[in-house]
Chain A
Amino acid sequence: MHKRLDRSEIGFKIVSYFLLTIFAVACLYPFIYAISCSISGKEAIEAGKIILWPVGIQFDAFTDIFQRTSFWLCYANTLFLTFFGTLFSILVSIIGAYALSKERLPFGRALNFLLVFTMWFSAGLFATKFFYDLTNNAFKSIGIIDEKWMVVIAMGLNAYNVVLLRNGFRGVPKEIEEAALVDGANEFQIASKVYTPISKATIATVALFYGISRWNGYFWVAQTITSEEQIPLQVYIRNFLDTYVKGTDTTFNLEVFSVQSLFYCMIVASVIPIIIIYPFIQKYFAAGVNLGGVKE
């Protein structure tokens, strides 16, 4: 009897290792393939010879992209949006979530409801776009020409993240706040000097959520930023790919590398920063998902 039992366990274990390894490889493979394609020669790509490793190595596609000021401009725009966007979102979320975490606050329940309601009911694309456009015009009329500020302020704040922070703050024992009040601290000081350090794991998680979505943000940014000089990398890549689907862009020197290499180069350039920091931050995301399971 024991033998049969062992066999089923070992069998399942082997199947687990096997399937998960295949799935993990399938998850990584497109990225490795993209890197290989970005530095493979024109002939090899057009003949479909790349399986895993690069063939007929060239770095001209990368050089070509890196020589373009428009590419660096977009990269800088992405960094700008990620940095200021994350900073704005997390600061507004922290102070707002702190206030909402106080159950004694008059109208606190109503405000919490209004926050959560935005997760249930969305105004839809058209009306949202309509008000983003109004904001854009309003910002321009008061002299904020840089459309990125509008993206930083109007977009990206997320009710779910505020709820995560609020629940995190609610987990802090009340006695800590009371003790600080007795010591003569006001709520501003308590939020910044007491609650923020205590909840830094939750804050880091939420900040990472914001950071990644800012770095990756596409749709609304593409909808609202009209100026070529202010678009971020994601929009740049997409516009490029559009010309590829509809017909080739002719401004590139496509003698030594293929147009595909060019796209793979852009993809690699946009993914590399994420891949570099990703192993370090991945555990925070896992923690964040399970934070979401924390119920009110």
Chain B
Amino acid sequence: MSDMDEMEDGSGIVKKFMFLNRKAPHGTVYALEGLEVVLITAAFDQDVSMVFTDDGIYQLMKGIDTKGIEVKDFSRTYRALEGYDIEKLYVDQASLDARGLTEDDLIVDVTVLSVDEMANLMVEQDVVISF
């Protein structure tokens, strides 16, 4: 049976999706848009990993208060991901270090990976989508 047939009869192909988040939250729309796509993907029962590297880890900061800049505070949505069965959240240790941050500064529980571990995780994905 081809992949297309399987999709059409709904037997469900599950692929490993990695969403790679590398942008700070408010300076561009990437972080918010990425979050929307992750939630859509989860609705199709896919194997989703969310990875935060570089400035992307800033998306997970505790204590965000967006009243002053009058934009939506979507940081709480990361805490709701668990409810959509998105529980694989990974953060790059080197990116934390370069920003003077630790796991304790983040709004959700994450798995902190070394560069090698992160690289291996990326290689084993079927699809990598970057925001």
- Our verdict on whether A and B bind, yes or no, reads no
| Chain A residues near B (Cβ < 8 Å) | none
